[in-house]
Amino acid sequence: MNVQVTRLPSGLTIVTDVMPHLETASLGVWVGSGSRDERSNEHGISHLLEHMAFKGTTHRTARQIAEEIEAVGGDLNAATSVETTAYYARVLKADVPLAIDVLSDILANPSFDPAELQREKSVILQEIGSVEDTPDDIVFEYLQETAFPGQSFGRSILGTRDSVRGFEAADLRSYLTRNYRAPDMILAASGAVDHAQVVAEAERRFASFSAPSAPLPEPARFSGGSRIEVRELEQAHVALALEGLSQRDPDLYSLEVFTNVLGGGMSSRLFQEVREKRGLCYSISSFHLPYSDTGFFGLYAGTDASDVPELMRVIIEQLSDATETINESEVARVKAQMKTGLLMALESSGARTWQIARQMFAYGRVIPLSEIVARIDAVTIDTVRAAGRAMLARSRPAVAALGTGRGLESAATIVEGLARRAA
């Protein structure tokens, strides 16, 4: 990795990773503001703002924004998450200044045209409807809300129909002014880029964001509980969550290994026991998402409603058993997978750009590959088992289930047994 970092007097951070063998560049602006930064009357505004950024500025129409990037063979996109919003592009190396110009324009000079706003609100309402029609999407929305009730952290990134319909241009401008500030923004670029050129372009084009850091969001509080919704579906969809670890926790890599041993692929314990041995489901997996002040361990399976009680009992047994019986070969396999995945990602300029932006937010620096590998190598059977035990004892579980049949009602009861067993 060939990383350079510059912090402008405004507080804007520019980080680049030069890949000399490439002719293209991936670059973007990451803003340290997402759905958890929304106030109670702003549910879904982060995501709406992301959409509206592409719908015209004081210098470009929505069509011109798309055409200028696509005319040089590039592409432009964005994404909203719980803690960040990203606006990014991929272009040829000669077109990096154009990409920075477009990115700065859509963030600094959005027009928020009323007609465009109405159209885009309609688009997002369709997006909300799509999620509601997709059981294995909506069950995760329910799970997040159940784990973090009454908090912006637990609310859907998309917002609700009512909240989205109610937003006006003034709301978008207020949110942007409060949260889009240079000290909370990172311009990241990888591939065929010149660091000095990127810095010079950023100095010229992002001056308007010079302001103190935005206010911090409220701390996340994992509560747990259950939500069961009866729907006429072919399958029951069940998701379970426990509080995980934050990005800076020293035991993070041990918990990541535990998560992947449990449900990280076809060789994982859950896949082998639940699908291959018992045939209880088609798909089952576990994951862990670390955030700035908490973590989210999740597990999902879809099965016939009548099989939910057996499925949940097997999941709880496997989860508890793993804290005592994870073995050397499992840990070695997952560590090798993690290192291979890391190396494969580094072959992509887009993946590198996302990685260095995330690391700058989480750690204030880009972590060298050798340091990440050393952290993975330091994981042992004992640290993995301990991370699993600590997670089971940390919080009351959250469970969300969607489908038909009395078996669904047993899911929450069985999961509550996990808390008693951990205690």
Q: Which residues are catalytic?
A: 50
CA torsion through residues 127, 133, 134, 140, sign? positive
Helices and strands per DSSP (H, E), number in the chain: 16, 11
Q: 241 has which bridge partners?
A: 298, 398
Task: Determine the 3-state secondary structure of 238 from DSSP.
Answer: strand
DSSP string for residues in 65-110: HHHHHHTTT-EEEEEE-SS-EEEEEEEEGGGHHHHHHHHHHHHH-B
Among residues 224, 205, 193, 230, which one has the least CA distance to residue 93?
A: 193
Cα 85 to Cα 34: distance, rounded to the nearest angstrom: 6
Among residues 155, 143, 154, which one has the least CA distance to residue 401?
A: 143
Cα 165 to Cα 154: distance, rounded to the nearest angstrom: 21
Task: Determine the 3-state secondary structure of 292 from DSSP.
Answer: coil
First to last CA, the chain: 45
Find out whether 141 and 156 touch, Cβ atoms under 8 Å. yes
Cα 167 to Cα 56: distance, rounded to the nearest angstrom: 17
Beta strands 85-92 and 75-80, pairing class:
antiparallel
Q: CA neighbours within 13 Å on the CB side: how many for 304?
A: 7
Burial class (CB in 10 A: 0-12, 13-18, 19+), 279: exposed
Tokens of 231: 């729907």
